Amino acid sequence: MLTEADYAATVSAPGIVLVDFRAARSGSSRAFTREFAAAAGRHPGLVFASVDTEAEVALTARVGVRSAPTLMVFRDGVPVYAEPGYLPGDSLDLLVATVRELDMPAVRALFPEPVDPR
């Protein structure tokens, strides 16, 4: 589980980082946890991390998460996806494939200012 202390360093790291904002009381969060863990097994070179929205209230609010589950994806420190809701495994795999295919120089040209992940 990511905390306030290690969130920024984790999402700013090189490569692809997927962050699941989850709540233990949410049935869809619990269901998505299984899909997220299975996807982590299928994509061992990526970082799959989670934030407990109930324990990390300030972090959750600061990054704009309003419901759980919410998935955020970062590539080389750039936020490239953020959406609430449950995703099935095949959709997660498609998302990973899409993020791998991104032309990051073009993305950076569109967003020249660094985005503060906090």
Q: pLDDT tens across 59-101, in order?
A: 999 999 999 999 999 999 999 999 999 999 999 999 999 999 9
Contact 72, 63 (CB under 8 A): yes
Average pLDDT score over residue span 14-40: 96
Q: Kindly report whether the global pTM for this prediction surpasses the value 0.75.
A: yes
Based on the structure, what is the number of domains in the chain? 1
Amino acid at 73: V
- Angle (CA) 9-17-43 rounded to 5° is 140
pLDDT of res. 117: 55
User: Can the peptide bond before residue 44 be classed as cis, meaning omega within 30 degrees of 0?
Assistant: no
Q: What percent of the chain has pLDDT over 70?
A: 94
Q: Is residue 110 part of a domain?
A: no
Q: Is residue 26 part of a domain?
A: yes
Domain around 38: 4-96
Chain centre distance of CA 38: 15
pLDDT of res. 115: 57
Q: Is residue 22 part of a domain?
A: yes
User: What CATH number should be reported for the domain holding residue 79?
Assistant: 3.40.30.10
Q: Is residue 116 part of a domain?
A: no
Q: Is residue 72 part of a domain?
A: yes
Share of the chain residues as helix, strand and coil, in percent rounded to the nearest 5? 40, 25, 35
Q: Is residue 35 part of a domain?
A: yes
